[in-house]
Amino acid sequence: MAESKEAQGSQPTHGSGPRHVAIIMDGNGRWARERGLPRAVGHRMGVEAVRRTVHAAIALSVPVLTIYSFSSENWSRPLAEIDDLFGLMKRFIRRDLAELHQAGVCIRIIGERTNVDPELLGLIDEAVALTRDNTTLTLVIAFNYGARGEIAKAARRLAEKVAVGELKPADIDIAMLDSELDTHGIPDPDLLVRTSGEIRLSNFLLWQCAYTEFVFLDAYWPEFGQDLLQQAITEFRARKRRFGGLDARSTG
């Protein structure tokens, strides 16, 4: 039986930095509304926050950064806003890809490709191919992503293998299901940060966040940058992670 990722990295840690930071980027619209600006301006400022945060992750030696850029539930938003979000994604790749590649950023995309503009898919594929061998920072972009759908898809793949006799139901374990997820090969997040003061996961990395430390910030996403990332990491370092075990000083 394959060893689970929890077992591979389950030793208590205290004081070390996170290997993987995941961020739910929330509050673009509220940031704009409080300033009397259109939501589209909030989204554009949110892209600037992404740029700052990528550079901050490199400066703070974070190996993996995952950002939640477009969820599978975001399709319920007005079509004009969806088009604007897709346009911002295109411009981000066109404008920043060369710089990200030069900085050693490896881009990975998780999520579904269905219903996505073919032009955007082409740009995504180009970014992934160009940067696949970079090692300074792995930037995981969760785009058209939903954790429940991801888990259901992984279970369906295993069920198909059982149906054709490649697997027995008893063979399926945590590691096997994990290997079918979009994030296969990426360490689980040590730290998840959500901006805007909301306290929920919103269908983001539900499987992967089993032992993740959460930090919820009142700041809106357009305000995010190195100072707030450092604040979240400092709080993370102050925590004792036991992964279901006991603190060395505990007696029961």
The pLDDT value given to residue 243: 67
Helices assigned H by DSSP within 132-225: 147-163, 174-179
Q: Would the pLDDT of 10 be above 70? A: no
Does 183 map to a domain? no
Residue 14 reports pLDDT greater than 70? no
pLDDT at 1 over 60: no
pLDDT tens for residues 30-83? 999 999 999 999 999 999 999 999 999 999 999 999 999 989 888 888 888 888
**Would you say residue 152 lies in a domain?**
no
Which residues are the active-site residues?
Answer: 26, 74
Mean pLDDT of 129-135: 98
Residue 195 scores a pLDDT above 90: yes
At residue 75, the pLDDT reads 86
How many domains, in total, are found in the chain? 1
Quote the CA–CA distance of 208 and 191 in Å, as a whole number: 11
What is the per-residue pLDDT for 74?
87
| Domain-located, residue 7 | no
In a domain, 119, yes or no: yes
Segment (H or E) for 42:
helix 39-59
Given this model, what pLDDT does residue 242 score?
72
What is the rounded CA–CA span in Å between residue 67 and residue 159?
30
Instruction: Evaluate whether residue 6 is within a structural domain.
Output: no
Residue 125, in any domain of the structure: yes
For residues 138-156, give the mean pLDDT. Answer: 97
222 pLDDT higher than 70: yes
Spell out the alpha helix ranges (H) of 60-138. 79-102, 118-131
Give percent of the chain above pLDDT 90: 80
Q: Does pLDDT of 245 surpass 70?
A: no
Cβ atoms of 53 and 23 closer than 8 Å: yes
CATH number at residue 113: 3.40.1180.10
Range of the domain at 79: 18-147+188-237
Q: Which residue has the higher pLDDT, 207 or 241?
A: 207
Residue 111 forms part of a structural domain: yes
Quick one: pLDDT band at residue 127, thresholds 50, 70, 90? very high
Residue 221 lies inside a defined structural domain of this protein: yes
Residue 250 has which token pair? 């505990």
Instruction: Give the mean pLDDT of the chain.
Output: 91
